Structure 1
Amino acid sequence: MSADRLAIEDLSVFGLPPVEFVQVAAALGCSYISTGLTAMPLDSLGYPPFSLRDDAALRRDMRTAMADCGVEISLEEGFLIIPDLDWDAFAVDLDLMHELGAPRINTLGLDPDLDRTFDQFATLAEMAAERGMQTTLEMMPGSVVGNLDTAVNAVKHVARPDFQLLIDTMHIARSGAGADAIRALDPATIGYGQLSDSPVIESMEDYIVAATFERMIPGTGTLPLADLLDALPRNIPIGLEVPLRSQAEAGLGPLDRLRPCVDTARALIPT
């Protein structure tokens, strides 16, 4: 991993096409991006839909752009655990993500059956490992894995060193956990961090909307970011996940939206 651990997360660019996304990350001086195989762009931004799943030429173009720009994928999104999963489709997606050079995938639990979800995490982690990829589990309020204790229990159930936690500063704070809870974990169980800021948000409905569309530049909200980041291992990627829909719809492009985020993130992330 590059000494600069900062990644630009897919959610921050609202479906910007992959080659342009790589170029934006490079222009911001970032060596990593997270991405998914498809995106649902905001209609108001005018980005064309794309599918890395269906478009082999686009995959080649993205790999070329990454090689030219010195950018790598840090995380692949898109593995939602729901009832009646299509494991054959997951296998195809994992093959494509391996082709793109992804070192890890991320999963979320949206199946209300917690026992089944834990077993599905184990199956997914094994499938990813067969392709040389790690798996991270994102704890998110409102999901079946909505707090740190449940996430830790999932890691214990899967019992693989390549199945780790993704710690998102907004989600961990909303869940009621803090830096001390992170420090109490075995550092080897944490594989990825995501950074953003947030105001105090009362309702869960408003929280989900804010988390998806309107987070805050690090250092401008209420989260104890310095303490949270200090509690994370020093050898993991930190993804900048700061969707700013209001700025985007006001005409501010991804470079101008994200440059202040990158500058403040670099000042906050311990070396």
Structure 2
Amino acid sequence: MTRLALHQLSLRDVKPVDLPAVARAVGVDTVSVFVTPPSPDLDIFPRVTREDVAAFRTACSDSGVGVHNVEVFSIGPETKVVDFSAALDLGAEIGATRLTALVQDSDRGRASDGLGALADAAAARGIAVSIEFMKFSECRSIGAGEGLLLDIGHDNLSLLVDPLHLFRTGGTVADLVATDPGLIGAAQICDGPMEAPKSPFGEAVEDRGIPGEGAFPLADFLAALPPNTPIDMEVPMKRLAKAGVGPVERAQRLVDASRALVEPG
């Protein structure tokens, strides 16, 4: 059975310490949370801080919920991986099994060195690293991500494939099928129109479609993933929050729609 995780981005109005209880209420046993911002000037997502660790761990224990993924570890021109030590330690303390890395350095050699160092540091803490390609980064396609992984050749590095970023970067399901399945470590699920909206960043962080609401070929996307790929439900639903739909109901709609695709029949 494919494991589904409830991503914090889906419920930005819910405090991280309250996310495990919501997950349990809708029958999900893992969550993904932020532990470090994508950049100092983009600290806009709810995240688990050092002061929250004890309460968050208690919430997870009380709900019987684990942590799948922690975000966001950006490798930029000035990045020193040692500066991620506190966030990596925090991720390990809350039991994360994976983290998401972004490439924000156009110097391929330097980015590769940074990713390799991050993979080493994460491996020492029992955490796998997946690179997420997107148009808002310097790794802008699934092919670019695959090439980077092949160049680095680190066994603790893989790709995270998000259908939004696959299609918004001009990729197709055929591109996913053509990618070495051994390089794919994790995936996400969401929906949307095939034509990008006027604000791609707004779509990415505020309003995506619940699976089945849009035009993404999600059944084909899921069929192209390696078996048992863990999948994050990353679907910000600001429109529903503004309409007064509560967090548990929003999460339940998301879970029901995702399971109908991921576990048909």
TM-score by shorter chain over 0.5: yes
Match of 1:238 in 2: 231
Match of 1:60 in 2: 54
Superposed CA deviations along residues 103-138 of structure 1, whole A, max 9, x for unmatched, are 111111122323322221111111111111110000
Tell me if the contact between 1:114 and 1:144 (Cα under 8 Å) persists in the aligned partners. Answer: no
After TM superposition, give the deviation of residue 184 of structure 1 in Å.
2.1
Q: 1:150 aligns with which of 144, 148, 153?
A: 144
Superposed CA deviations along residues 203-260 of structure 1, whole A, max 9, x for unmatched, are 6x61121111110110111100000011112212111111011211232221111211
Match of 2:102 in 1: 108
Question: What SS does the corresponding residue of 2:5 show, helix, strand or coil?
Answer: strand
Tell me if the contact between 1:75 and 1:102 (Cα under 8 Å) persists in the aligned partners. Answer: yes
Matched, 1:119 2:117: no
Q: 1:23 aligns with which of 18, 21, 24?
A: 21
TM-score of the two chains, using structure 2 as the length reference: 0.90
After TM superposition, give the deviation of residue 181 of structure 1 in Å.
1.9
The AA in structure 1 aligned to 2:15 is P
Match of 2:65 in 1: 71
Match of 1:46 in 2: none
Superposed CA deviations along residues 165-200 of structure 1, whole A, max 9, x for unmatched, are 000011111222222222222222111110000113
Question: What SS does the corresponding residue of 1:67 show, helix, strand or coil?
Answer: helix
Matched, 1:258 2:256: no
The AA in structure 2 aligned to 1:65 is A
Partner Cα distance (2:37, 2:81) in 1:
21
The CA RMSD over aligned residues, in Å, is 2.0
- Which ranges of 4 or more aligned residues in structure 1 deviate by more than 6 Å? none
Tell me if the contact between 1:12 and 1:241 (Cα under 8 Å) persists in the aligned partners. Answer: yes
> Compared with structure 1, are the counterparts of its residues 51 and 225 closer, same or farther at alpha carbon in structure 2 (3 Å cutoff)?
closer
Match of 2:194 in 1: 200
Unpaired runs of 5+ residues, structure 2, are 39-44
Tell me if the contact between 1:4 and 1:30 (Cα under 8 Å) persists in the aligned partners. Answer: no
The AA in structure 1 aligned to 2:100 is N
Partner Cα distance (1:201, 1:118) in 2:
32
Unpaired runs of 5+ residues, structure 1, are 41-48
Partner Cα distance (2:134, 2:251) in 1:
23
TM-score of the two chains, using structure 1 as the length reference: 0.88
